[in-house]
Chains A and B, each alone.
Chain A
Amino acid sequence: MLLLIPLLPFLGFLTNLALGRRLSRAVSGGVACAAMFGAFLAAAWSSWALLQMPADARGIVQQVAPWMESGSLSVPFTLRLDPLGAVMALVVTFVGFLIHVYSTAYMHEERESEYARYFSYLNLFAAFMLVLVLGASFPVMFVGWEGVGLCSYLLIGFWFTKPSASDAGKKAFVVNRIGDVGFLLGIFVVWSQFGSLDFQEVARQAGQLPPETTFGALSLATLLLFVGATGKSAQIPLYVWLPDAMEGPTPVSALIHAATMVTAGVYMIGRNAVLFSHAPETLAIVAGIGVATALMAGTIGLVQNDIKRVLAYSTVSQLGLMFVAMGVGAFAAGIFHLYTHAFFKALLFLGSGAVIHALAGEQDIRRMGGLRKELPVTYWTFLVGALAISGVPLLSGFFSKDEILWRSFAGGHTLVWGVAVAASLLTAIYMFRLVFLTFHGRRATQAGHGLAEAAHAHGGAGGHLHDAPPAMAVVLILLAVGSVLAGYVGVPAVLGGSNHIEHFLAPSFAAPGLETGGEHGANLAEAPSEGASRTESRGEGGHAAAAEGEGGHADHRTELGLMAFSSGIALAGIGIAAYFFLRRREAADRVAARFAGAHRVLLHKYYVDELYDAAIVQPIRRTSERALWRVFDAGIVDGAVNGAGSFVNGASAILRRLQTGSMRAYALSVFVGVVLILGYYVWR
């Protein structure tokens, strides 16, 4: 049954791969959507079966086939569904299905063969993502991990005739490879430490070890795994590929580069929660990288002018927040944010896609404005998404983001908390900058010509733009509903909820076969003793990750106060954005002019691309060109090949003189030869 979940999209991929050219758009899109819906049903059915099991023994295992058998290494191709996997599989299949449906309308102007190619890639991506999520061991996960990277490359470069798109695809692929090397090395270290690659077995063995106090083998393994996560999940220093990945079609950005694939790193840390919680050094690094990324991406997002790029930096920033959750040991909170983020970020991307679609490819928010009246569905759904991501109370983003902020504060990481709060303020500001510049105000006139053409292309009359077509509108509305309601599975206890999702996820973060302390265990993550040093509390936080259930002993008043504070921050961010970008737009320009230097640095994304180009790309390029190409390849390799040729040439230039063409010379040489041979035999 589990196999069906990744298999159905894979069959959809094969169908569109083999028959795509001959199928009409409706059929190839329909096959892809049906495959995703089937996968969703299978995932839902399996999750339902999972829910029927006792809470601490939830797990469905299916061994598909023996795979690698060599000496003491035994890796069967096994799929395993546990609460964590169930949440991920449901998100991937549900959001994936919606985005497939959306794509049928969005990609409608492609040629039929291109249309089928698009859907075959999309289905292949879903299949690999589900293998990644359901894999029961590191190698199976790695198959999915590499597979989604491949599909990401293929889909970023979908419009490969555009050089910037194919460059972006290559960049994503290469940067991901760097992370993958780290991931692979991490797997090797895990194998050398535990002699097993099965997640459960590794967690069971790691659970029996004490947390490392110094930087040891576990820290090394987890740090290497985290390098893989930074590549896939776009964290410092490997985040540079994600903003460029926006060259792909917008639904791809929504599915792969916002909702699912980029969260794989977060998921992988959650999957190895026991391992990571035994390596407090790594957790500190994870939290530090996460918070730095969140802040950096947030500041860049403030000044970008491409609607999709703003969303991309927002994704990077939100992923940073998830890593903060992982780093402070609040694994369930991180996964919870991943799950709500999938809804509202997919919604935001698809909304931006609807805008781009209506404006025939225009992505610059400076040339937008006033679209509120013309694109009502898009406007309202986008607004819901923006409210949710900003953390406005009672929407999904509020619950998950607040959970992370609270956990980091309660874990004693005040600095991390402070920076994360600043990042949330930035989130609210840049999201509403986007909303106000895109949908409010008046459209800039210099773009009128192009837009009028666009309107004509869409059959509009008199510059009237068309709102999202039905397939897109339905998806936007469904995702908007999801963005509002998704958070209600994790209402914290302090607000009268019971945080179902944390209880549900808790067994996945605990070492199997150990007494986890259950819900009544002392909740060390939430209530560190006053004098506890940071490292200690982190270690304890890891231990208590399984028992994050109830905040019974935590200070409710503090939690409520922080909640009110972060809600206030979100509203303040919206207010700031409203002041600068709705009421007095010239004030924003004045601020930009006042801090021209800072503005330029942000506009150029802290010059990180330039830095990488100068520090890594150009030296490699120069070495390759001067040393490897001109000296080694052209000089030594080609020299050897050409040298062999010219040696033979030169030698035969001498030897061919023997072939005189004179038959008497030949006869003489034969005669002399016979005489010499006979003479040898006679006189020897």
Chain B
Amino acid sequence: MVPLGHYLILSAILFATGTMGVFLRRNVITMLLSIEVMLNAVNLAFIAFGRTHGSVDGQVIMFFVVTVAAAEAAIGLALVIALFRHRESLNPDVFTSLKW
């Protein structure tokens, strides 16, 4: 059986990868994908803890997160399409009109 620590290390690596994607990529769609990676890193941690403790709570939480992620992806992609129609660009640094 794979020990809990390995799962957590993998989860942390995935989370860090996702975070870096959010901050470093200059494409809104890639940023959304990175957020999905972060969410799934958290899901992995939940399931690993649940299995270790013999509880289904982790899996239940995981399903909630997947559901919310699906909704988020739908809204996020809709926003991206709307933004693209507006500005002809997917670079987040272009969308800075909401400031002082």
Q: Which residues of A contact B (CB under 8 A)?
A: 656-657, 659-664, 667-668, 671
Contacts and interface: CB of A to CB of B under 8 A. Distances in A.
Most chain B beta carbons < 10 A, residue from A656, A657, A664, A671: A664
B76 to A, nearest CB: 12
Contact of B100 (A657, A662, A663, A668): A657
A667 B22 contact: yes
B19 to A, nearest CB: 7
Given A662-B92, A662-B93, A667 B23 contact: yes
B100 A664 contact: no
B93 A664 contact: yes
B98 A661 contact: yes
Contacts of A664: 22-23, 92-93
Chain B contact patch, size range:
10 to 19
Given A662-B92, A663-B92, A664-B92, A671 B99 contact: no
Interface of B: 19, 22-23, 92-93, 95-100
Given A661-B96, A667-B22, 15 more contacts: A656-B100, A657-B100, A660-B96, A660-B99, A661-B95, A661-B97, A661-B98, A661-B99, A662-B93, A662-B96, A663-B92, A664-B23, A664-B93, A667-B23, A671-B19
Contacts of A663: 92, 95
B49 to A, nearest CB: 17
Contacts of B22: 664, 667
A659 B23 CA distance: 18
B31 to A, nearest CB: 8
Contacts of A662: 92-93, 96, 99
Given A667-B22, A667-B23, A671-B19, A659 B96 contact: no
Q: Is the interface of B mostly helix, strand, loop or mixed?
A: loop
Nearest to B22: A667
Contacts of B92: 662-664
Contacts of B95: 661, 663
A211 to B, nearest CB: 84
B99 A659 contact: yes
22 contacts: A656-B100, A659-B98, A659-B99, A659-B100, A660-B99, A661-B95, A661-B96, A661-B97, A661-B98, A661-B99, A662-B92, A662-B93, A662-B99, A663-B92, A663-B95, A664-B23, A664-B92, A664-B93, A667-B22, A668-B23, A671-B19, A671-B23
A663 B91 CA distance: 11
Nearest to B95: A663
A657 B100 CA distance: 7
Nearest to A656: B100
Nearest to A668: B23
Nearest to B19: A671
Contacts of B23: 664, 667-668, 671
Contacts of B97: 661
Contacts of A667: 22-23
B35 to A, nearest CB: 10
